Each structure stands twice: as structure tokens, then as C-alpha cells.
């Protein structure tokens, strides 16, 4: 995926200024920065929720700018959200199965009657969902209503629903936000498994710098809508512009 010269404005507010990224296949690519740096706005541009005033976002041969959001799953692009966007009064299994509908070929009549081809299609999609359930170790909660789950488990189900679309690139907006140390370690392990075992490219927004530096292959840093640094984790640790953006600069006296 290539992001080239993306600029986004909201009235007089410049949310993104000439941002360019190159995300290689099967890479874990982290986008970090202080609050308000433009990280989620950039994901929203990739997903079609926002349309930038200038720039290109290229995925393979497809320009994503202006593309309707419902086309993205068929291109192999999926996303989880910073705020949980699950159907809270449905079961975990039903939430995951909903994500598979983009791949279903049955028509409305076979879906309503649920026999023959419609039934076989449902079974095939359920098999894939079971692989997701096994990967994320949520076998014991598949029948539970989402609203009854802890916050950490809901975040795991949110990750599972995105993964259930069988993406080639997965956009994760703060998947570890609000979690305790053990839950963060679990999510980091699942992200690595998704990347290594399933070959999925990961684009990750995350505030936990320890997790970012441990699991990322490459890191880009935004500050006030501008990219101020990029490189491997060890390079970002030593980048003075990044240190200044996060820690500020002491006044000279």
C-alpha cells in the first residue's frame, strides 16, 4: 500500500499535511504520535470515511480515494476501531459470522429457506470462523452475548470480526487501549500470529510504545498532521524529532 502526499483539512484545521507512507506486504507497520497527531484521520482516509483534499492512496492497482467503504472487504482490507463497534446484543459467533457475509454467494431466497446451496454456503463460512475462534482462543465464549463480556474480551472479538473477513491487510486502531498488562501481551501475540501464520499485513496505531517497539517491523511518527520520522524501531528510539514530540523540550534558562 502506498500513501502519497495526503492532505486533509476540516475547515481551517489541517489534520494531515502531505503525508506519505509505503507499507510493504506482510509487514507490521506502526503509526505512532501524540494525541491529535492525525493517526486515526489517516486510517479514516484509507478506509474511505474521510476524503483527503489532495494525495493518493494506492492499494495494488486500485486508488482508494473516493472508493465506497463497502468495497474494501472485497479488496482484502479490514479494520478494527478504537471504540468497540460490535453488535452488543448478539453472540460472539453471530458477530463473526456477519463479517463473512461479504464472501457469501447465496441469494436472499436460499438464505431465507436455509437448505441446499444456502446451507452448504453457511457451513463453509462457519468453518473459516472457527479458525478465527481457535487463533484468538475464544472457544469458550462463542455463544455468549458480547455485552456480557469483559472489555478485554470485547476488544479481542473486535479483532476477530475484522480477521473474519479474511483480509490481506488489517488496520488496527489502538487494539490494546484500556487493557491490563496481561491482555496487552495476549493481543500482541495474536497480532504476531496473524502476521506470521496467516501472512496478513498489519497497520497498527498504538500508544503503548513498549508493544510497538517489540512487534513492529517499521514505524512512522506523526505530529500535528505531519510525518516527522520513520524507520525501524531502533532508529525511532534515537530520533530526536520523535523524542521532542513526545517529551517536549526543556526551556533554556
For residue range 70-114, what is the model confidence (pLDDT) as tens digits? 889 889 999 998 788 889 999 999 999 988 877 666 554 454 555
**What is residue 103's predicted lDDT score, i.e. its pLDDT?**
66
Q: What are phi and psi of 132, to 5 degrees?
A: -65, -45
| DSSP-derived pairing of the beta strands 54-59 and 62-63 | antiparallel
Sorted by sequence, the CB contacts under 8 Å of residue 208 that are 6+ apart come out as 176, 184
Q: What is the end-to-end Cα distance of the chain in Å, rounded? A: 46
Query: Is a pLDDT exceeding 60 seen at residue 115?
Result: no
- Render pLDDT for 29-44 as a digit per residue (tens, 0 to 9): 999 998 889 999 999 9
* DSSP-assigned letters across all residues of 146-181: GGGS-HHHHHHHHHHHHHTT--SEEEEESTTTT--H
Residue 122 has which C-alpha cell? 453457511
Greatest alpha-carbon span in the chain:
80
Residues of the chain with CATH 3.40.50.300: 23-52+60-76+167-253
Whole-structure pTM value: 0.87
CATH topology for 23-52+60-76+167-253? Rossmann fold (3.40.50)
Amino acid at each position: 500500500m502506498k500513501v502519497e502526499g495526503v492532505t486533509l483539512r476540516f475547515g481551517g484545521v489541517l489534520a494531515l499535511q502531505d503525508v506519505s507512507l509505503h507499507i510493504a506486504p506482510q509487514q507490521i507497520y506502526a503509526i505512532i504520535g501524540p494525541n491529535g497527531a492525525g493517526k486515526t484521520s489517516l486510517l479514516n482516509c484509507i478506509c474511505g470515511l474521510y476524503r483527503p483534499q489532495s494525495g493518493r492512496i494506492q492499494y495494488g492497482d486500485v486508488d482508494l480515494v473516493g472508493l465506497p467503504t463497502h468495497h474494501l472487504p472485497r479488496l482484502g482490507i479490514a479494520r478494527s476501531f478504537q471504540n468497540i463497534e460490535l453488535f452488543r446484543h448478539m453472540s460472539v459467533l453471530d458477530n463473526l459470522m456477519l463479517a463473512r457475509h461479504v464472501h457469501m454467494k447465496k441469494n436472499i431466497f436460499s438464505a431465507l429457506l436455509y437448505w441446499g446451496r444456502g446451507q452448504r454456503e453457511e457451513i463453509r463460512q462457519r468453518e473459516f470462523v472457527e479458525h478465527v475462534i481457535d487463533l484468538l482462543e475464544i472457544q469458550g465464549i462463542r455463544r455468549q452475548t458480547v455485552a456480557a463480556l469483559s472489555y478485554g474480551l470485547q476488544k479481542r472479538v473486535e479483532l476477530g470480526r475484522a480477521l473474519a473477513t479474511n483480509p490481506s491487510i488489517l488496520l488496527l486502531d489502538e487494539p490494546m487501549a484500556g487493557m491490563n498488562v496481561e491482555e496487552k501481551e495476549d493481543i500482541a501475540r495474536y497480532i504476531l500470529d496473524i502476521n506470521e501464520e496467516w501472512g496478513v499485513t498489519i497497520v497498527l496505531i498504538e500508544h503503548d510504545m513498549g508493544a510497538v517497539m517489540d512487534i513492529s517491523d517499521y514505524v512512522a511518527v506523526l505530529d500535528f498532521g505531519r510525518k516527522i520520522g520513520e524507520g525501524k524501531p531502533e532508529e525511532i528510539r534515537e530520533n530526536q524529532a520523535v523524542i521532542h514530540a513526545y517529551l517536549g523540550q526543556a526551556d533554556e534558562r
